[in-house]
């Protein structure tokens, strides 16, 4: 088969939850459902839109920004796991050079984290006080790709437990500034304390969201505020808690409680209609390439395999304003040997990855 042959994917093409086709073609880097003329290369399997990791940090490790070579390895690891679209939920590194690479995932950036002074991981964020929050949010909105990332809560060492980072008036002004710039705002939040003020200020999304309560979940659903649970990250809470038992016992106990009810929290949010998307939180202390594990975690939390698959594919792409496998869309897709709707574990074993129309 010549290199110029048109790719023909035959079997099942999962365009959306209610849209399943028998075949598609990749012509000039784009998806088409009209049979083109000329030679074709046919592959068989189950095709889905390229997977989405909506909370991923290309360019970071546990200590801060990394060099371009390390960033490249991170992006390749994600790509080879089937992740072809990343929402980079905060990074101190400049990864704009990735945009010129045809072989690396597309990245939607939230700029650099914005945190309260000495209230986040060292070397990660702009660390500021509330009076400066609107100006920093406006600047990051202009630097990013339509998103801004706040640190909504973190451990307060004087209190010895998780505590909200920002007063409500600063949040309202800052989120309004982001919206004026055409950007959405998301926030790192473990506990419940910071959530009411964020909701009142017009937050668009919450990362982790382990502090959701029975009272707050209906408000999230009513306002359409999304959550990205990052359950593969929440699995690390017991280890983190053990490290704080001596100095911060209240914080440690709090983290264990959040971990213990993590599946119930996500399941209740899903049942109430809160939008949920897949994110791994890779790039800090977690490895890249964990997207299939996160989808499986959502199924454990009560999402159907179809809903969990959508949270990593067509639903997530629509939320982020990127196309799926529609006619004329860029050909970013992954082919599997079996139906991931029947067994979500199939996502861990991609058979073929096509990025920007190129077979990798």
Under a CB-based contact definition with an 8 Å cutoff, are residues 317 and 85 in contact?
A: yes
Percent of the chain exceeding pLDDT 70 equals 99
> How, if at all, do strands 184-189 and 161-164 pair?
unpaired
pLDDT in tens, 298-345: 999 999 999 999 999 999 999 999 999 999 999 999 999 999 999 999
pLDDT for the residue 1: 37
Reduce the DSSP state of residue 177 to 3 states and report it: helix
DSSP secondary structure of 265-329? HHHHHHHHT--B-----BTTTBPS--HHHHHHHHHHTT--HHHHHHHTTHHHHHHTT---S-TTS
Phi-psi region of 65 (alpha: psi -120 to 50; beta: other; left: phi over 0): beta
Q: Which domain holds residue 15?
A: 6-48+324-359
pLDDT for the residue 5: 79
Residue 228: its H or E element = strand 226-228
What distance, in Å, lies between the first and last C-alpha atoms of the chain?
16
Q: For residue 1, tell me if it sits in a domain.
A: no
pLDDT for the residue 4: 56
Average pLDDT, the chain: 97
The torsion defined by the Cα of 10, 13, 19 and 22, in degrees rounded to 10, comes to: 10
Q: For residue 161, tell me if it sits in a domain.
A: yes
**Residues 225 and 249 both lie in one domain:** yes
Residue 2 has pLDDT above 70, yes or no: no
C-alpha–C-alpha distance, residues 340 and 338, integer Å: 6
pLDDT in tens, 251-281: 999 999 999 999 999 999 999 999 999 999 9
**Residues 39 and 60 both lie in one domain:** no
Q: For residue 241, tell me if it sits in a domain.
A: yes
**Residues 15 and 163 both lie in one domain:** no
Reduce the DSSP state of residue 222 to 3 states and report it: helix
pTM: 0.97
C-alpha–C-alpha distance, residues 202 and 171, integer Å: 9
**Residues 270 and 171 both lie in one domain:** yes
Reduce the DSSP state of residue 74 to 3 states and report it: helix
In the chain, how many domains are there? 2
**Residues 261 and 236 both lie in one domain:** yes
pLDDT in tens, 95-109: 999 999 999 999 999
> How, if at all, do strands 126-128 and 226-228 pair?
unpaired
Residue 207: its H or E element = strand 205-208
Q: For residue 162, tell me if it sits in a domain.
A: yes
**Residues 187 and 40 both lie in one domain:** no
**Residues 251 and 122 both lie in one domain:** yes
pLDDT in tens, 193-246: 999 999 999 999 999 999 999 999 999 999 999 999 999 999 999 999 999 999
Q: For residue 13, tell me if it sits in a domain.
A: yes
Half-sphere exposure of 194 (CA within 13 A, CB side): 30
**Residues 103 and 124 both lie in one domain:** yes
């Amino acid at each position: 088969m010549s290199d110029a042959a048109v790719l023909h994917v035959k079997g099942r093409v999962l365009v959306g939850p209610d849209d399943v086709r028998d075949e598609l073609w990749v012509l000039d880097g784009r998806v088409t459902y009209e049979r083109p003329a000329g030679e074709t290369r046919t592959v068989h399997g189950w095709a889905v839109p390229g997977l989405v990791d909506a909370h991923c940090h290309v360019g970071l490790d546990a200590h801060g920004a990394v060099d371009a070579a390390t960033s490249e390895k991170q992006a390749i690891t994600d790509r080879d796991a089937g992740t072809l679209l990343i929402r980079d939920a905060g990074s101190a590194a400049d990864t704009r050079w990735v945009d010129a690479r045809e072989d690396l995932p597309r990245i939607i950036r939230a700029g650099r984290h914005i945190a309260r002074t000495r209230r986040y991981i060292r070397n990660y964020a702009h660390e500021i006080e509330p009076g400066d929050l609107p100006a920093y949010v406006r600047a990051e909105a202009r630097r990013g790709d339509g998103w801004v990332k706040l640190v909504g809560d973190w451990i307060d060492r004087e209190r010895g437990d998780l505590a909200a980072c920002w007063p409500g008036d600063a949040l309202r002004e800052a989120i309004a500034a982001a919206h004026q710039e055409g950007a959405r705002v998301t926030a790192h939040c473990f506990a419940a304390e910071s959530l009411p003020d964020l909701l009142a200020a017009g937050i668009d999304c919450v990362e982790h969201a382990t502090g959701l309560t029975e009272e707050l979940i209906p408000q999230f659903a009513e306002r359409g505020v999304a959550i990205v649970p990052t359950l593969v990250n929440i699995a690390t809470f017991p280890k983190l808690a053990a490290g704080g038992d001596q100095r911060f016992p209240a914080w440690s106990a709090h983290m264990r409680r959040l971990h213990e009810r993590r599946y119930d929290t996500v399941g209740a949010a899903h049942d109430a209609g809160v939008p949920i998307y897949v994110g791994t939180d890779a790039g800090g202390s977690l490895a890249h390439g964990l997207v299939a594990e996160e989808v499986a975690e959502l199924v454990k939390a009560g999402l159907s395999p179809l809903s969990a698959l959508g949270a990593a594919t067509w639903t997530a792409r629509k939320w982020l304003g990127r196309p799926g496998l529609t006619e004329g869309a860029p050909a970013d897709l992954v082919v599997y040997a079996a139906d991931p709707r029947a067994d979500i574990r199939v996502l861990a074993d991609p058979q073929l990855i096509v990025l920007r129309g190129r077979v990798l």
